[in-house]
Amino acid sequence: MLRSIIIVGLTTLALACGGKGKGTEQPKPLYDRLGGKDAITAVVDDFVGNVAADDRIKARFEHADVKNLKKQLVDQICSVTGGPCQYTGKDMKVAHTGMQIKDEEFTALVDDLKKSLDKFKVGQKEQDELLGALGGLKPQIVGQ
């Protein structure tokens, strides 16, 4: 469950990163602006710790395979932000069907991610791209 929620959250966050700049120069992919795989891994490690300590949602993740969850999250974020990784997990709607995730739980997950992004001093533009994408996945996650 934890894996699915985190993957959904991070996938959503990463999907907002595909736009082009207005000038003739294209901006660096979000993957590069986030600092690459090592930086993504550090944020994911911290994020999973935040979720595990969050009384609002930690029960959803009690039986999660944390090692696999972290790997899937890193691969998913890496892939959707323009990095070299390949995510092979389930799509968000399929992963969350039957879970009946509530708005408050989704908000808690976003809060926990924001906390990690702030801790690692991720720029506001990059945070906005990631968090903006997360909102787009909410219908595929909440209430399924």
Is residue 24's pLDDT more than 90?
no
> pLDDT confidence of 79, banded at 50, 70, 90?
confident
Q: Which residues contact 142 (CB under 8 A, 6 or more apart)?
A: 101, 102, 103, 105, 106
How far is 28 from 123, CA to CA, in rounded Å?
14
Residue 19 included in any domain:
no
Residue 118 included in any domain:
yes
Q: Which residues contact 22 (CB under 8 A, 6 or more apart)?
A: none
Determine the pLDDT at residue 3. 47
Q: Give the total number of structural domains in the chain.
A: 1
Determine the pLDDT at residue 12. 44
Is residue 81's pLDDT more than 50?
yes
Structural tokens at position 119: 């801790």
Residue 27 included in any domain:
no
Residue 18 included in any domain:
no
Mean pLDDT of 17-22: 47
Residue 25 included in any domain:
no
Beta bridge partners of 101: 142
Is residue 10's pLDDT more than 80?
no
Domain that holds residue 120: 2-13+33-141
Length of the chain counted residue by residue: 144
How far is 70 from 40, CA to CA, in rounded Å?
10
Residue 21 included in any domain:
no
Q: pLDDT over 90 for what percent of the chain?
A: 58
Determine the pLDDT at residue 132. 76
Structural tokens at position 95: 């992963």
> pLDDT confidence of 4, banded at 50, 70, 90?
very low
Q: Write the CATH number for 116.
A: 1.10.490.10
Determine the pLDDT at residue 8. 47
**Mean of pLDDT over the chain:** 84
Is residue 137's pLDDT more than 90?
no
Q: Does residue 2 contact residue 109 with C-beta atoms inside 8 Å?
A: no
Mean pLDDT of 15-37: 72
Residue 26 included in any domain:
no
How far is 106 from 117, CA to CA, in rounded Å?
17
